[in-house]
Structure 1
Amino acid sequence: MIKEIDERIAEIDKEIEEIMASDLVDEAKVYVLKRERHDLIHMCKNLNSHDKVYLARHKKRPKITEYVDAIFDDFFEQKGDALGKEDASIYGGIATYHGIPVTVIGHRKGNDLAENLKCNFGMPGPEGYRKALRLMKQAEKFGRPIITFIDTPGAYPGLEAENNGQGSAIAVNLAKMSALKVPVIAVVTGEGSSGGALAIGVANSVLMLENAVYSILSPEGYASILWKDSSRSEEAAEMMKLTAQDLKEFGVIDDIIPEPIGGAHLNHKVVFKATDRAIKKELDKYIKMNPDEVAKHRYKKFRTIDNKYLHVI
């Protein structure tokens, strides 16, 4: 349902843009189109898990570069894994956030084919995770809080990545993040799949956008393993409990960031403001903790996730 509605909304937006650019503006036509657009958007209130997967992957959903420009000041990008490699699918650097020096790290997707090829569609190799680790260590050394943005279909599964130590790079990140003595806030902005997402997601607080998804693998992968049929991904999405609402109930995430009805791609500014408020609220909880307390809090959080739901497993 959501795909058809979204495509029609895009058509309406294009029609309105063309009418407004013409010499003679048909106000009546614009009014009718805007009413149709309004009605379509309000049909998106009760979305199922499959609908949310579609929105989480939407090509016009805000990217990390846009979050950085909107939320942070004085951002300075840092590249390289200190071993001679660079991976554009991990974007990171130092910035100021409400006057506080912070380190920002996240998965990077592109806005077009050329950008996506450059950043491998948001699928990092081991070089990307080592770059993230380097930035985390630097942040800890200088006492800077870390804010991560998760949006990936998973770590790159290619042969070269495996030969270069993909598994160990992710494992090292998980171990190091568990013990970091600076506050870490993670925000799942789109799709968060597998260890490729978790490798920058071991945080004191984990936030999710309302229509984001977070899971051990994609619904297509789940369906392929369980039924040998990837076309059953819609059924798989419902079973996987991968939505923000499900994960909040299970205690996997700490809070849900609201989106405009119809998805984050329809109004970036609203999403940036809501994300900024949510990050600030969580960061304020930890900024005055001593370093050892911060690390203990994070470790305990991940050791006790889902305790009251163990009967489900």
Structure 2
Amino acid sequence: MRTYLDFEKPLADLEGRLDELKRLGETSKVDVTEAIASLEESIAKLRAELFNNLTRWQRVQLSRHPDRPYTLDYIERMCDQFIELHGDRTVRDDPAMVGGFAEIDGQTIMIIGQQKGRNTKQRQQRNFGMPNPEGYRKALRLMKMAEKFNKPIVTLIDTPGAFPGLEAEERGQGEAIARNLKEMFMLKVPVICIVIGEGASGGALGIAIGDRVMMLENTWYSVISPENCSTILWRSWNYKEQAAEAMKLTAADMQSFRLVDGIIDEPTGGAHADHAAMAQILKDTILNTIAELNTLTADERIDQRIEKFCSMGVVIE
């Protein structure tokens, strides 16, 4: 059964009526064809109206939608083959960070991403998509392996942040993320980073240094979540909507600040409304971007990568 967000309630009412009409048409001899067509037209118009005028907070809600596709969902739909690789060769395997070699239409890539869970048991197992240091060290190990075999790297970012627990700090959470930042700048193979859901703080940035950094249409990327920002400024979560507006954290905002290179459109209704269509759009984007980056030499990619990130921000003297 589909989950509706608060602002989608008018859509839920109309779609409920549509289901009732369809059942009526199946169980009786009443011709409801015209009524169904009219209602479907109304639903399409309302959906377009709702999703063309989203607030920043509504986009944050969509990025967390429980039906939204996660990293493994995209891998399953995009890849012809996938071999998952485990462990950081130091402590353990981190289920919050997944990765391995994959094949997309004959193109071998290393794909890495954060993975959330669908139910309570999976969320606990995946630590709600919040990696420990070994997750970032595993990611770096896989990136170095991709470089060794000259394969492009694709990272899918979807995390509320790196795990902030005491044990994570004891094992060097900050150092693990910092090392990833340094090493990703110098990778000789093409690196594509895509925010597919939440892009929070260093937890996202730890796998987000690339030749092309892109965001899906209904995602966010910021140093802090709107709720935590509201808590710091107003001592309450009740101002999260105002915080989201002030933070300017959406894909359109990030592109206007030149912090990301592009926005990937989602199907009308969001990525959760049509997993297959979203996966196809993402697949085409990845293949086209790899082809574009392959026209550059390794040194050119590294130079452009460094120049891009060094030019970010505003300095006033």
Q: TM-score, normalised on structure 1?
A: 0.91
Given candidates 38, 51, 57, the residue that maps to 2:58 is: 51
Find 1:4's aligned residue among 6, 30, 33.
6
Please identify, of 207-216 and 297-306, the stretch whose mean Cα deviation from structure 2 is larger.
297-306
Q: Secondary structure at the match of 1:151?
A: strand
Match of 2:277 in 1: 270
C-alpha spacing 1:173/1:34, structure 2 compared with 1 (3 Å): same
C-alpha change, 1:8 and 1:121, in structure 2 (3 Å) is: farther
Q: How does 1:203-282 map to 2 (within 5 A)?
A: 203-282=210-289
**Contact 1:104 1:148 survives alignment (8 Å):** yes
1:24 aligns with 2:30: no
Report how far residue 278 of structure 1 moved.
2.0
Q: Deviations over 1:105-156 (max 9, x none)?
A: 0010122222212111111111111111110111111111100000111111
Q: Is the 8 A contact 1:5 1:40 kept in 2?
A: no
Where does the alignment leave 5 or more consecutive residues of structure 2 unmatched? none
Query: What residue identity is the alignment partner of 1:303?
Result: C
**Structure 1: unaligned runs, 5 residues or longer:** none
2:162 alignment partner in structure 1: 155
Q: What is the CA deviation profile of residues 205-245 of structure 1, one whole-angstrom value per residue up to 9, with x for unaligned ones?
A: 01111111111110111122223222111111111111111
- Say whether the 8 Å CA contact 2:91–2:134 is kept in structure 1: no
Asked if the contact 2:157–2:208 (Cα under 8 Å) also holds between the matched residues in 1, the reply is yes
Instruction: Give the Cα–Cα distance (whole angstroms) in 2 for the partners of residues 124 and 27 of structure 1.
Output: 55
* One of 189, 192, 196 as aligned partner of 1:189: 196
The question of whether the paired residues in 2 share the 8 Å contact of 1:210 and 1:244 is answered with yes
TM-score (normalizing by structure 2): 0.89
2:108 is paired with a residue whose SS is strand
Specify the SS of the correspondent of 1:246: helix
Which residue identity is paired with 1:58?
Answer: H
How much is the aligned-residue C-alpha RMSD, in angstroms?
Answer: 2.3
Q: Offset at 1:179?
A: 1.1
Asked if 1:129 corresponds to 2:136, the answer is: yes
User: What percentage of aligned pairs have identical amino acids?
Assistant: 41
Cα pair 1:49 1:237 within 8 Å, conserved: yes
Match of 2:40 in 1: 34
CA distance in structure 2 between the aligned counterparts of 1:12 and 1:72, rounded to whole angstroms: 36
Q: What is the number of residues matched between the two proteins?
A: 309
Structure 1 distance, partners of 2:88, 2:12, is 40
For 2:218 and 2:7, the matched residues in 1 are separated by 16
Question: 74-83 or 270-279, which moves further after superposition?
Answer: 270-279
Worse-matched range after superposition: 275-284 or 230-239: 275-284
- Rounded to whole Å, the distance in 1 between the matches of 2:230 and 2:74 is 33
Most deviating of 288-297 and 119-128: 288-297
Runs of 4+ in 1 over 6 A off after TM superposition: none
CA distance 1:222–1:18, change in 2 (3 Å): same
**Cα distance, 1:178 vs structure 2:** 1.2
Structure 1 residue 67 corresponds to structure 2 residue 74: yes
Matched AA of 1:4: D
* Larger Cα-atom Rg: 2
